[in-house]
Amino acid sequence: MSAAEPSVLPSGFRLKLITIALILAPLIQVFDTALLSVALRQMQGSLSATQDQMAWVLTSYLIALAVMTPLWGAISSLFGRKPLLLLGIAGFVIFSMLSGTSSTLGEILIYRFFQGAFGAALIPLSQSALLSIYRREDFGIAMGWWGVGIMFGPVFGPTLGGYLTEFFNWRWVFYLNLPLGLLAFTMIGTLVPRQRNMVRRPFNYLGFFMLAITVASVQFVLDRGERLDWYSSPTIIVLTLAAAGAFWVFVVNSLTSRTPFVDPAIFRNRFYVFGIVLRILFGVFLFASLILVPPFLQNQGGYSMIDSGVIMASRGAGAMFAALFTGHMLKFIDPRKVILAGMMLSAYSMWEFSNFTQDIDLTAVLVNNFAQGIALSFFIIPVNTVAFSSLPSEHRDAGTAFYSLLNNIGRSLGIALFASYLARNTQAVHEILRADITPFNDALRHVGLPEVWNLDTAAGLQAVNAMVTAQAELIAYIIDFRLLAAIIVICMPVVFMLRNPLREDAASS
């Protein structure tokens, strides 16, 4: 037991209460993002903003989140994990309420930036605190409960967000953080033990600023690259070069400084590095599928926004169902086998999505989403357990912060890649399909097209174009789903590169 952790671990009912408290902290952060995703259109009209301007509501938050995540882990040795976690919750709730009262785009951009800055503390510090109250052999159970909280937001958030914006207005998306934040603040302040005899490390300003420039530039490139046509834009080119240069300085500083911002020792732990690699993949899998499936259901299946949100809730149900027993299962089953099972089930469900047509059967998509939820828990819980199974507690705050940062990068990478790929494939397939659809094609004249598709009229050509666009988008979705399934399968051999960490002595790492 490290001197930096509680001398006596909680147990019984108190352990359960502390676990719930620490799950609430990240829940309000991920829940907020999921709620907001469905409220942007109504916010756009209320604030008289363009779609591109509204995108900055997400971008400003994500940049602050990326920049500040490693900072909270680094300064925990100076101020303590619990006070910083409470400060993060308080700041997040305050700026959430201010965001809800915004009357101009400028106001909400500022408030969202600070909301992201404080929200960056919630996931890494609460995860580190949760691990500190469990024995090493029970890390799987801790991560199982952690998975319940993390999975809840992205899946059930859009459903609740749809109802809030439909029956109230977008401001309630932010106001909902108040009761959740007050509950989390009260329970953590009352129940969570403080760290004792912390080892304080001097703050490396150069390392922080170089890492901040790196992650801010990367986050901007990934979030805005598609809108700016990637490397056709001078802005994207300059920021990519800035990220590369700043990262180089950060690496040199980390290897030569006596007190680096991120201790390179954590990267000598092979289980942690293994977890980072798979965590990035998890970010790609989860968020790529989350941005593909809801619009697929709406645009191709004809489901309303609320209906598609309810359908997506089946994924959350599957994830939470599996999370309840996956952590216990890791005591008896090699976590690598569970990870592989999750990857195989995820690849299979993505392949099944690629077989849907515009006539999407409700039962089939519910079952498939439920299976996808189980796959996500089978993946993320053992990956988290493996990553922190042998990481010393004095490195845990920085380790969870960097881990969370790379998950955010993986999330942005998945969204950027697959959204861009979908848009480009839709355009390319549309051009292929429409190439021979002209009034001068004699073959079409003998087919006997319906009057609504009369190629000799502007209205007919417009109707045909709408049909071709829908078919092109369907094919593009199929390509994306199959590519995602193929990537998961290709990445499976990574799991075989490591021995079972839960059966090795932590000192051997």
Percentage of residues in the chain having pLDDT higher than 70: 83
Tell me the one-letter amino acid at 214: T
Cα–Cα distance between 443 and 222 in angstroms, integer? 45
Q: What pLDDT, on the 0 to 100 scale, is given for residue 155?
A: 64
Mean pLDDT of 47-62: 74
Bin 44: left if φ > 0, else alpha if -120 < ψ < 50, else beta. alpha
Poorest-pLDDT segment among 2-6, 116-120, 291-295, 314-318: 2-6
Per-residue pLDDT for 429 more than 70?
yes
Q: What pLDDT, on the 0 to 100 scale, is given for residue 129?
A: 85
Q: What pLDDT, on the 0 to 100 scale, is given for residue 41?
A: 67
pLDDT digits (tens, 9 = 90+) for 154-196: 666 666 766 776 677 778 888 888 988 999 999 998 888 876 6
Closest CA to 70 of 285, 229, 214, 253: 214
Mean pLDDT of 458-475: 77
Per-residue pLDDT for 375 more than 60?
yes
Q: Which two tokens stand for residue 64?
A: 């602050």
| Cβ–Cβ < 8 Å for 502, 381 | no
Per-residue pLDDT for 438 more than 80?
no
Per-residue pLDDT for 90 more than 90?
yes
Q: What pLDDT, on the 0 to 100 scale, is given for residue 506?
A: 41
Q: What is the CATH number of domain 1-198?
A: 1.20.1250.20
- Give the model's confidence band at 253: pLDDT under 50 very low, under 70 low, under 90 confident, else very high: confident
Exposed e or buried b per residue across 436-467, where buried means at least 16 C-beta atoms within 10 angstroms of its C-beta: ebeeeeeebeeeeeeeebebeeeebbebbeee
pLDDT digits (tens, 9 = 90+) for 380-415: 888 888 888 777 777 788 888 888 888 777 777 777
Q: What is the CATH number of domain 263-509?
A: 1.20.1250.20
For the chain, the residue count is: 509
- Give the model's confidence band at 51: pLDDT under 50 very low, under 70 low, under 90 confident, else very high: low
Q: What pLDDT, on the 0 to 100 scale, is given for residue 248?
A: 92
Coil, strand, or helix at residue 267? helix
